Amino acid sequence: MILQRPVRYLLSLLRRRDPFALVILIGDNITIGPNTAMRSGRIVSSPRGSIVIGDWCSIGRNVAILGVTHDPESPTGPHRRIREGPVRIGDNVWIGDNVLIAPNVSIGDNAVIGANVVVRDDVPQGSYLRNITVIRHGR
């Protein structure tokens, strides 16, 4: 079951697991399941860019989970376009250090995301993602 709590409660819950963790939550459209731990990073949501993180997830240091970001193909300036969309992270997902998860991404249950990866596409359930390669578990 997914718990919905005020940001202040979520921040204290995440910090209890690691008193040195610094997690920045931006937006009201964030849902984090019970027993999920995050070492440090930021989670950014928007009205069309909700973030849902499942139960028993382990999220490393300096991780960015973004429901909204700038469009990398749009020049900077006052007319810059943004990209926004939901991010769904399943149950029992392990996310390594220095990972960026872009908008419109779904990560299936029991997936592993290695360190230093930019996740721009969906990750199937039970997969390992390292660098740019998705490897099916057990095949």
**Annotated catalytic residue, options 17, 48, 70, 80:** 70
- Does residue 70 carry a catalytic annotation? yes
**d(C-alpha 93, C-alpha 99), whole Å:** 13
Phi and psi angles of residue 16, each rounded to the nearest 5 degrees, phi first? -60, -35
**d(C-alpha 26, C-alpha 108), whole Å:** 24
- Structure-token pair, residue 34: 């019970």
Q: Are 52 and 89 in contact (CB under 8 A)?
A: yes
Amino acid at 119: V
Q: Are 127 and 138 in contact (CB under 8 A)?
A: no
**d(C-alpha 29, C-alpha 68), whole Å:** 11
Q: Which residues form the catalytic set?
A: 70
